[in-house]
Amino acid sequence: MSLLEDLDINPVIALPSSRATMDHILSASMSAESCSGDIADECRDDAVALKMKMVAIAAILIAGVIGVAIPLVGRKRRLVRTDGGLFFFAKAFAAGVILATGFVHMLHDAQSALTNSCLPKFPWKKFPFSGFVAMIAALLTLVVDFVATQFYEKKHREEEIGVKREAAAAVAATDRG
C-alpha cells in the first residue's frame, strides 16, 4: 500500500479526498509528539502552539495583502504615495527587519561553522569571516536597491518629460490651427 493510498489521497490530483483526511495530514505535519522528551517539552502546550501558528499564518497573509495594497491605494491618496517620505521610511524599516531576521537566524550558525575546530587555524580563526560576509551582503543589497531605484526614477522622469513635450506640442498645434 502506498503513502497516497494510506492517507486516502487521490493520486491523480494529489488532493485529500475528505475533510478528515486533510485534518489528519495537517496534524501529522504539526505533530504533537515530542522528539526529544526533554523536561522543557513538558511546559509546552501543543494545542496552544498550533493555534498560535494559525494566527501567525493569518497575520502574515493579512500583512502581505496590506503591503501589496499600499502602492495601489497610494495612486489615489496623498498620504501613502510611493514617492513620499512615509513610503520610503516604511520600505527602509521593512529592509531592516529582513536583514535583522537574517542576522538573528543565520549569523550564529555561520559563526559556529567557520570557527569549527576541523578548519585550519589560518585564515578562518584569524578573521571573523561570517560577519564580514554578512556585512558585504548587506552593503550589496543596499547598492542594488539604490541602483534599481535610481534607474526606475530616471526612467519615470524621462517618460514624464516625453508626455509633457507631447502635450506642449499638441497645445502649440491647436494654437496655430
Q: Is the pLDDT of residue 37 over 70?
A: no
**Coil, strand or helix: which one is 36?**
coil
For the residues of 124-153, what is the DSSP string, one character each? TTTS-HHHHHHHHHHHHHHHHHHHHHHHHH
**Residue whose C-alpha cell is 496534524:** 27
Alpha-helical segments (H) within 33-106 = 46-74, 85-102
**9-18: pLDDT as tens digits:** 444 444 445 5
Of all residues in the chain, the percent with pLDDT exceeding 90 is 12
What is the CA 28 to chain-centroid distance, rounded?
26
The per-residue pLDDT for range 117-167, each reduced to its tens digit, is 888 888 887 888 888 888 898 889 889 988 998 998 888 888 888 888 888
Kindly report, residue by residue over 81-120, the tens digit of the pLDDT. Answer: 667 777 778 888 888 888 888 888 888 888 888 888 888 8
Predicted model pTM: 0.44
Task: Give residue limits of the domains in the chain.
Answer: 1-30, 36-77, 83-177
